[in-house]
């Protein structure tokens, strides 16, 4: 929504208005809101706290009369991020009925601790039902950070908590791609990467060096990858 107003002065102490304070008092400016990861840190059930969105001014014209500014309102959290937060909220509540419409019929979901992806909504729901049946409700996903700039792709970092306390080896990050399906935005792809319980450290680099050495010496082995 565009709100047009007449102003007599802008505070020169604000860093974003540095150039404006040197300009003629009869200039017209466009104030625009940056969409810059407005969601930060965590709350349970997939909620996050909103950051204050900064505004910058761009000079668009001058006149000999009053200053005029066009203010562009800061955008709210986009639909894709809201869907992903609702997805985590449903898992935390053990509410598969609320999760089901968020997942596309042909969705592919990869959890990298499993050898193969889960393909199709029903297979994904079966996986989460197994998760819910085997894990206490006291174990909850907590979102650490979530991207909110893109309407079709969302990144999330998260961890698990047991009755408000961080659960060991439970940090993870996830990626979700969403598309409009029959007029509704749904998750069509997801990938989870979870913190490993065993952390090889520098030994992992040694293993990578050994494998790349073998591939360089015996290029035909690449066909087996």
pLDDT of 108 > 50? The answer is yes
Going by pLDDT thresholds of 50, 70 and 90, the confidence category of residue 222 is confident
Whether 113 and 65 share a structural domain: no
Whether 64 and 88 share a structural domain: no
Last residue of a domain, one of 72, 87, 103: 72
Q: What is the arithmetic mean of pLDDT over 78-83?
A: 92
Task: Determine, yes or no, domain membership for 214.
Answer: no
DSSP string, the chain: -EEEEEES---TTSGGGHHHHTS-TTEEEEEEE--S--EES--BTT--EEPPPPEEEEEEEE-SS-EEEEEEPPPPPPHHHHHHHHHHHHHHHT-HHHHGGGEEEEEEEEETTSSS-EESHHHHHHHHHHHHHHS-TTEEEEEEEE--S-SSEEEEEEEEEETTEEPTT--EEEEEEEEEETTEEEEEEEEEEE--SS--THHHHHHHHHHHHHHHH-GGGGGG-
pLDDT of 24 > 50? The answer is no
pLDDT of 47 > 70? The answer is no
Whether 176 and 101 share a structural domain: yes
The pLDDT, as a whole number, for residue 66 is 52
Last residue of a domain, one of 72, 88, 115: 72
Whether 96 and 186 share a structural domain: yes
Whether 83 and 165 share a structural domain: yes
Task: Determine, yes or no, domain membership for 104.
Answer: yes
Whether 84 and 187 share a structural domain: yes
Going by pLDDT thresholds of 50, 70 and 90, the confidence category of residue 29 is very low
Task: Determine, yes or no, domain membership for 103.
Answer: yes
Q: What is the arithmetic mean of pLDDT over 198-209?
A: 89
Residue 64 is part of which domain span? 2-72
Task: Determine, yes or no, domain membership for 21.
Answer: yes
Last residue of a domain, one of 52, 72, 92: 72
The pLDDT, as a whole number, for residue 218 is 87
Whether 24 and 98 share a structural domain: no
Number of folded domains in the chain? Answer: 2
């Amino acid at each position: 929504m565009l709100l047009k107003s007449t102003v007599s002065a802008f505070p020169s102490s604000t860093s974003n208005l540095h150039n404006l304070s040197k300009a003629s008092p009869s200039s017209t400016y466009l104030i625009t809101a940056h969409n810059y990861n407005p969601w930060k840190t965590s709350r349970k059930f997939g909620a996050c706290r909103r950051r204050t969105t900064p505004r910058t001014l761009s000079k668009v014209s001058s006149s000999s009369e009053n200053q005029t500014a066009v203010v562009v309102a800061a955008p709210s959290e986009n639909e894709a991020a809201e869907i992903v937060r609702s997805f985590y909220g449903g898992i935390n509540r053990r509410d598969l009925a609320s999760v089901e419409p968020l997942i596309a019929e042909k969705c592919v979901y990869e959890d990298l601790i499993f050898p193969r992806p889960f393909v199709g909504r029903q297979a994904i729901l079966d996986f989460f039902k197994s998760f819910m049946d085997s894990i206490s409700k006291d174990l909850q996903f907590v979102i650490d950070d979530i991207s909110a700039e893109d309407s079709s792709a969302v990144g999330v970092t998260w961890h698990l908590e047991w009755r408000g306390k961080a659960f060991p080896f439970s940090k993870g990050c996830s990626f979700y791609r969403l598309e409009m399906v029959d007029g509704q935005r749904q998750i069509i792809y997801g990938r989870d990467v979870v913190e490993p319980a065993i952390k090889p450290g520098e030994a992992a680099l040694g293993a990578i060096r050994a494998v790349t050495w073998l591939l360089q010496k015996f290029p035909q082995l690449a066909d087996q990858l």
